[in-house]
Amino acid sequence: MPSFLEISSDKLARMVGTPNAPVIVDVRSEEDFARDPRLVPGSIRKSHSDVTEWAGGFAGPVVVVCQAGGKLSHGVAAHIRHAGTAAEVLEGGFEAWTGAGGAAVPAGRLPPRDGQGRTVWVTRARPKIDRIACPWLIRRFVDPQAVFLFVPTSDVSPVADRFGAVPFDVEDVFWSHRGEFCTFDVMVEEFGLASEPLSRLATIVRGADTARPELAPEVAGLLAASLGLSRMFVDDLRQLDAGMLLYDAFYRWCRDATDETHNWPSPKKGG
């Protein structure tokens, strides 16, 4: 049973991937991190040694992760609370998270961050499905502050080179279609995020993105909603903002509501 200053792995896992997820700060020592260079999804790495310099830089609640949920995380969380932001410690630390089967993102798969600590990605303008689904996955499970640049197809590679951005969902790059799988499938696998809900969502995205409606009954719905959004917005970033809510809803259905049905009218009391 976690103390009032701690959060369990199970509770945090229910929050990861949702709009209400806390900021997750990994403060493991370099030695501990080197032994297992993976991260709780959405984590940022910080050093406890200069916590006084960055403790006040958070707008929302924070969960602090160290190796075993001991002195490093409790000390950092106390500093963050002192700076005015709610902070809890992951009970049992990274060891408890992975021991409970929690997803862990390989740090080596993460792109370099910009001067503000954000990953930067670039893809083709006028997104439809994969180019909205992938940014949703990145912001919810990899880097909540990720920047996405939408540019003409011919400019994706030059922009990537000039601005240090990572190209995705274009030909001849790492983050793109592979065989029958779309870019979303590739990111789920490469980022170590495979789970029943995300695998279910990946099937729906793949069906909508590659014109295979037979893969899942929900494919037609995602395709219709995606094409509708693409016609509602001229600004790709505004479309992405709207698409985040769409994929939040599909993810929560995949995770929590696949067995639920809707009946109307509701049965009368005593009927």
Domain ranges within the chain, ordered by starting residue: 6-107, 110-257
pLDDT of residue 103: 97
Length of the chain: 271
Neighbours of 180 (CB within 10 A): 9
> Is the model's pLDDT at 255 over the cut of 70?
yes
7-56 pLDDT, tens digit per residue, is 999 999 999 999 999 999 999 999 999 999 999 999 999 999 999 999 99
Q: Among 4-18, 141-155, 256-270, which stretch is predicted with the lowest mean pLDDT?
A: 256-270
Band (pLDDT 50/70/90 cuts) for residue 1 is low
Beta-carbon-side half-sphere exposure of residue 185 (alpha carbons within 13 Å): 16
Query: Do the Cβ atoms of 254 and 198 come closer than 8 Å?
Result: yes
Q: The domain 6-107 belongs to what CATH superfamily?
A: Rhodanese-like domain (3.40.250.10)
Spatial distance between the Cα atoms of 168 and 160, rounded to a whole number of angstroms? 10
